[in-house]
Amino acid sequence: MDLAPVLDGFGVVLQPTNLLYCLIGVVVGMLVGVLPGLGPAATIAILLPITIGIEPVTAVIMLAGIFYGAQYGGTITSVLLRLPGEASSVVTVFDGFALARQGRAGTALGIAAVGSFLGGTVSIVALSFVAPLVAGFALDFGPPEYTALALLGILLVATVSSGDRLKAVIAACLGLLLATVGRDGFTGAERFTFDNLSLADGLDFVPIAMGLFGLGEILYNLEERHRAVHAPATVANVWPSRADLRQSSGAIGRGSVLGFFLGILPGGGATLASLAAYAMEKRRSKTPERFGRGAVEGVAAPESANNAAATSSFIPLLTLGIPANATMAVIYGALLIQGVSPGPQLVDQEPELFWGVVNSMYIGNILLLIMSIPLVGLFVKILRVRATILAPITVLITLIGVYTVNYDVFDIGLVVVFGALGYLMKKLGFDPGPLVLAFVLGSLLEDSLRRSLLLFDGDPTGFLTRPISGTLLVLFLVVVLLPVIRAALARRRSTDRRNTKELV
Amino acid sequence: MTTDNRARRWATAGTGLALALSLAACGGNVGGGTAAEGEEFPGDDPITVLVGQDPGGSTDLIARALADEVSDDLGVPVTVENRPGANGALAAQELAGAEPDGHTLMVYNGSLAYITPLAVAEGEAPDIADYEIVTGISQDDYVLVTAPSSGFTTVEDLANAGRPITFGTTGVGTGSQLSQELLFNQAGIEATAVPFDGGSPTLTAVLGGQVDVGSIQLGEAIEQIEAGELTPIVTFAEERVSYLPDTPTAIEAGYDVPVQQSRAVFAPKGTPEDVIETLQASFQTAFGSEAYQQFNQDNQLTPNEIDGEEVRQAWTSNLDRYRSVVEQYSIDLGGDS
């Protein structure tokens, strides 16, 4: 591996501006992590317009900081208030809050911070080695491979994501439909544009993300957060004891590795990783009854995993140009605004951007470790800011922000429409994530499919004869059929049992 | 962004003030029209240059390089505003509706004038007759490239491949598509167009051997050509491109397919003659500056600093010529043109 670009990357990070934006990013990330409801995807979407005026690498350093910073912040309220700041910190509530009730809130936060730091760092190191490898054979990724990958991605998003599977599929289909708006890139025909030039190039990703994630979340939270937040328990002694560290070291290691791999998967990401890591620790433990009653491993494993996953989900984005989850989709949007199209060429053509962003994560994680241990109390105070003050300001920033991207009033209308849609979706239990991701992957899927068929001269078996696309399609089938087969097996087993009973 | 907003507010205030003054001076003669009357253009008001492409693309870079120089020359701020969409038609539409006082201009792409109309339905592409043209800027050449592993080095190689060729284009209704369609039709090569989304994805597809060849703007491919990762087959320029002295033009190879991307500065219809002249002089000064000439060098752009009428003639004749050859070979660039 050529080390020079990696070292240059550190040079990029250590420029004062970039350090400053990294700091801003992780502080904002911590803050939104602490605030329940407002997630990193929403925050990044709202802040997208700000990134236009700054250098691409600086912008992405900041946005990435928000993403992994939120993983740290989300823990704090999970532990202290039993109120997960982020979806990825939901499982931390079980043992984190139990520990807090035993007066060991400090231990839980300390272990979570150390675990997050180690998980994040392990993942960055792995990212540094894996990403250039992936990028190395990325040129073999042609339209057929992208077709298969996009299909797999949309399917995984719909089936793997937490929540109702059917609703996720419906949301994803809506996203796919929205992706068809605009002038058809192959024939020049207008689709659903209603003779409006603003729609000729399709719906813009930024207003959709800002509406669904930003405005939608704010509206929904206004309804949710009327009850007052009770004063959190005081936190004493955040430094984890040596015994605690020894007890959780295994959990941190396993959580980091698991998180790294789950983060790479399309549809995976921090939430899935934290759930899986918690389940794994509980199953491995000799004393599973301790889980839920204040097991340190129950905090360490999911926190390491969610940070590792947050970091590794940059791999498919930066090497293949495929966002693995909703937050990555928004960062993808940010790169496009900057005129950088993430793809196989990125590592080679923009080494400064790639390594600058990757290496900034070391710095960001160190900053977060520093902030989360001694400054916990400060961040908890943010919960006292009333929603009635916060919400109108955020709405205003969102609307002004989206206008400044294209100076187009049409975009403001879009944000309002999608904000209302996002609110209704949340209210009816639909996650807007699959919609946004399917929207992004939808045009990729359609374009790649049509390109592939042009290349194959209309013969769809071409997908199966190429090694990479063939493998991906087999994987696709496995994911589709697995639940069906499992259900069938379970039914057969139960009938078998009944049969044996009858025989006896 | 804040500066943009402020600039615009000042622009409005300035126009209002100037209008009020001219009204007072003319004793209510509203027919007087533009704000610049009675004072020398550009006065103290800033100039906005619209760009119909995303920030960071070649059109945007050209607009920004020129804006700096023109701003120095005229002594007023010149800001570039991007209105990407519909190949630039969105920006053109906005320009058509702007006040014809020389304070709103646009860097207009030739492809929008002479290729897009062939690809989209009637009336969807703007007509250059609806604008004033200040000056030509520069030309960007297309080059037909292939991956070295394909073994192709000449158009004959492609003809003798013994199988249909696939070619990547940077999109429907682009010079990249037109140039290759014309070449393969004239050479009698059976070929399938695979449209990609802009230069960079097309480049990637050619590098990875996903398509056999692709036609890409020189500035976007030069790095890979110099590194030996891409083999140039022909350029679609009228004459040999100074940046690729060893690559023949398609004309030299025996095919009549000159296709170039050309750019010019447009103003709204009805912009006063003297304002156009002032602008033209200022752009000429900009073209002469060392920094701008270096910029052209760095981006493999060939200066084409002709005056507005020449641009109009050249682009109109391009449109006519392309329309007739497209009909002659019954090439289908888009769907329903």
B336 with A189: Cβ contact below 8 A: yes
**Of B243, B259, B275, which closes a domain?**
B259
Is B336 part of a structural domain of the chain? Answer: no
Last residue of a domain, one of B259, B278, B294: B259
Across the A:B interface, residue pairs with CB atoms under 8 Å apart total 102
* The pairing of beta strand B104-109 with beta strand B213-217: unpaired
Residue B330, Ramachandran bin (φ over 0: left; ψ between -120 and 50: alpha; else beta): left
Are B134 and B222 in the same domain? no
Q: What is the CATH number of the domain that holds B154?
A: 3.40.190.10
Asked if B214 has any chain A CB less than 8 Å from its own CB, the reply is no
- B90 and A183 within 8 Å at the Cβ level: the answer is no
Q: Are residues B41 and B129 in the same domain?
A: yes
Is the pLDDT at B289 greater than 60, yes or no?
Answer: yes
- Enter the ipTM: 0.72
Same domain, B10 and B126: yes
Partners of residue B166 in chain A, C-beta under 8 Å: 454-455
Q: Is residue B333 part of a domain?
A: no
Among the residue ranges A490-499, B89-98, B297-306, the one predicted with the least confidence is A490-499
The Cα of B120 is separated from the nearest Cα of chain A by a number of Å equal to 6
pLDDT(B67) > 50: yes
Instruction: Verify that B90 and B170 share a domain, yes or no.
Output: no
Q: What is the pLDDT of residues B186-220, one digit of tens each?
A: 999 999 999 988 787 898 899 989 999 999 999 88
- Per-residue pLDDT for B30 more than 70? no
| Separation in Å, CA of B254 to nearest CA in chain A | 28
Of B99, B128, B100, B125, the closest CA to residue B264 belongs to B128
- Assigned token pair, B280: 């033209």
Residue of A187, A197, A457 lying closest to B334 (CB–CB): A187
Q: Is the same domain home to B242 and B146? A: yes
B70 lies in a domain? yes
Q: Is B185 among the domain residues?
A: yes
CATH code of residue B93 = 3.40.190.150
In degrees and rounded to multiples of 5, residue A35 shows phi and psi of -70, 120
Q: Is B148 on the interface with A (CB under 8 A)?
A: no
Nearest to A320 by CA among B204, B170, B196, B195: B204
Average pLDDT, chain B: 84
* Domain span including residue B175: 142-259
Look at chain B and report how many structural domains it folds into. 2
Pick from A404, A440, A451, A453 the residue to mutate for testing the B interface (most B CBs within 10 Å). Answer: A451
- Evaluate whether A342 touches A332 at the Cβ level (below 8 Å): yes
pLDDT, tens digit, 9 for 90 and up, residues A422-457: 999 989 988 888 898 889 888 889 989 999 999 998
Query: Closest residue of B to A186, CA-based?
Result: B172
Residue with tokens 């196989």: A344
Does residue B68 sit within a domain? Answer: yes
- Structure tokens given for A174: 């809506």
pLDDT score recorded for residue B268:
95
Give the closest residue to A265 by CA, choosing from A342, A175, A144, A160.
A160
- Chain A residue with the nearest C-alpha to that of B167: A455
Q: Which residues of chain B make contact with A135, given a CB cutoff of 8 A?
A: none
Closest CA to A203 of A185, A186, A181, A218: A181
Q: Are B307 and B280 a contacting pair, CB within 8 Å?
A: yes
* In a domain? residue B241: yes
Beta strands in A207-260 (DSSP E): none
3 state SS of B45: coil
For residue B3, pLDDT over 70 is answered with no
- Distance CA(A503)–CA(B206), nearest Å, equals 67
Q: List % helix, strand, coil for chain A (3-state, nearest 5).
A: 75, 0, 20
SS3 category, A374: coil
pLDDT attached to residue A268:
66
B233 and B153 belong to one structural domain: yes
Quick check: B308 and B129 in contact, CB under 8 A?
no
Of A141, A339, A345, the CB nearest to B55: A339
Per-residue pLDDT of B157-179, as tens digits, reads 999 998 999 999 988 888 999 99
Instruction: Return the minimum-mean-pLDDT range out of B78-82, B290-294, B330-334.
Output: B330-334
pLDDT at A193: 84
Q: Please tell me whether residues B23 and B113 are part of one structural domain.
A: yes
pLDDT, position A232:
56
Residues of B in contact with A143 (CB under 8 A): 194, 205, 210
**Chain B residues closer than 8 Å to A184 by CB:** 335
B214, B286: one domain = no
**Residue B27 scores a pLDDT above 60:** no
pLDDT for the residue numbered A303: 92
Distance from CA of A234 to the nearest CA of B (A): 43
Amino acid A44 reads I
All residue ranges of chain A with pLDDT < 70 are: 1-2, 37, 159-163, 224-238, 267-268, 496-504
Q: Which pLDDT score, from 0 to 100, does residue A231 have?
A: 52
Q: How far apart are the first and last CA of chain A?
A: 66
Residues B85 and B217 in one domain: no
Pick from A165, A78, A226, A104: which is nearest to A484 by CA?
A165
What's chain B's Rg over C-alpha atoms? 22
Q: How far is the CA of A218 from the CAs of A69, A212, A215, A270, A419, in angstroms?
A: 20, 10, 5, 22, 9
Q: Please give the radius of gyration of chain A, using alpha carbons only, rounded to the nearest integer.
A: 23
B279 pLDDT higher than 90: yes
Q: Is B14 on the interface with A (CB under 8 A)?
A: no
The predicted pLDDT at position A103 comes to: 82
Residues B254, B285: one domain?
Answer: no
How many angstroms separate the CA atoms of B108 and B266, rounded? Answer: 6
Q: What is the pLDDT of residue A185?
A: 73
Residues contacting A416, CB < 8 A, separation 6+: A211, A215, A399
Residues B109 and B132 occupy one common structural domain: yes
Same domain, residue pair B246 and B312: no
Task: For residue A71, give both structure tokens.
Answer: 């993983």
CB count, 10 Å around CB of A460? 11
Question: Residue B329: inside a domain, yes or no?
Answer: no
B332 lies in some domain: no
- Inform me whether the pLDDT recorded for B6 exceeds 70: no
Q: Residue B210: which of A142, A190, A337 has the nearest Cβ?
A: A142
Q: Is the peptide bond before B42 cis (omega within 30 degrees of 0)?
A: yes
Q: Is the CB of B30 inside 8 Å of chain A's CB atoms?
A: no
The rounded distance, in Å, linking the Cα atoms of A90 and A308 is: 16
Mean pLDDT of B256-265: 90
- Adjacent-strand bridge partners of B107: B51, B265
Q: Do A188 and B83 touch (CB under 8 A)?
A: no
Q: Does the beta carbon of A447 lie under 8 angstroms from any beta carbon of chain B?
A: yes
Q: Which of B230, B259, B288 is the last residue in one of the domains?
A: B259
